[in-house]
A and B are shown apart, each in its own frame.
Chain A
Amino acid sequence: KAGVTQTPRYLIKTRGQQVTLSCSPISGHRSVSWYQQTPGQGLQFLFEYFSETQRNKGNFPGRFSGRQFSNSRSEMNVSTLELGDSALYLCASSPGGVYQETQYFGPGTRLLVL
């Protein structure tokens, strides 16, 4: 099976702009989670989508949003970019069962905000 794919791999934006990142989960996986990784804060949970619905949300401002499509692909959007949004954004997929399962990560999208 193909792994989790994320596009684009690299992005450079300026403050105030918005950005959309895309994630395609492993075939058959219905849960997609997004994480932000920075040197200072480490890996932090943004949100999880399952069956096109946001099932869980982390402690990030409303500028961070996401959605999931019927084919389980997911996008996340960051509006009004700030310098502190520079990070590696990781997407992870899992089957989406009742209990916690292994989450498989994609390679990430590296976002640089200037």
Chain B
Amino acid sequence: GESVGLHLPTLSVQEGDNSIINCAYSNSASDYFIWYKQESGKGPQFIIDIRSNMDKRQGQRVTVLLNKTVKHLSLQIAATQPGDSAVYFCAEALDTGRRALTFGSGTRLQVQP
């Protein structure tokens, strides 16, 4: 069943292309940032995270970039595959105080075969 917003921004890419999903976060004091992927009917799946003392982190086919000056986070997916089609959420959190993830509204990625 559908579990995400009906009017999400959508990024449509061709299979094999690189994808870049952007996120503007809200709290300049956030210490920790994370990207999740959510497929229809499932819970969010961890992709990659980054702490505020870093500006880049790489995983398998994914890279997260953090620009604290403009409060911007991006997720780069290399050689996008049809299985990457999903809704992607960024989330931010503080290390102290309220230890809750604050989620962005999400971006739908559609990969055309």
- Give the contacting residue for B34; candidates A37, A98, A102; CB below 8 A: A102
Is B61 an interface residue, CB under 8 A from the partner?
Answer: no
Contacting B at CB under 8 A, from A62-114, are: 88, 90, 92, 98-100, 102-108, 110
CB-CB contacts of B67-94 with A at 8 A, as 1s and 0s?
A: 0000000000000000000000101011
Whether the Cβ atoms of A56 and B44 lie closer than 8 Å is no
Most buried by B among A37, A56, A90, A98: A37
Q: How far is the CA of A58 from the CA of B105 in the complex (A)?
A: 18
Interface of B is mostly: loop
Interface of A is mostly: strand
Question: How distant is B8 from chain A, measured CB to nearest CB, in Å?
Answer: 9
Number of interface residues of B (CB under 8 A): 31
Whether the Cβ atoms of A48 and B5 lie closer than 8 Å is no
Whether the Cβ atoms of B5 and A107 lie closer than 8 Å is no
Question: What residues of chain B lie closer than 8 Å to A103, measured between beta carbons?
Answer: 34, 46, 101
Question: What residues of chain B lie closer than 8 Å to A56, measured between beta carbons?
Answer: 98-100
Q: How far is the CA of A90 from the CA of B91 in the complex (A)?
A: 15
Q: How far is the CA of A104 from the CA of B44 in the complex (A)?
A: 8
What residue of chain B has the Cβ atom nearest to residue A104's Cβ? B46
Is A43 an interface residue, CB under 8 A from the partner?
Answer: yes
Whether the Cβ atoms of A48 and B100 lie closer than 8 Å is yes
What residue of chain A has the Cβ atom nearest to residue B93's Cβ? A100
Whether the Cβ atoms of B3 and A108 lie closer than 8 Å is yes
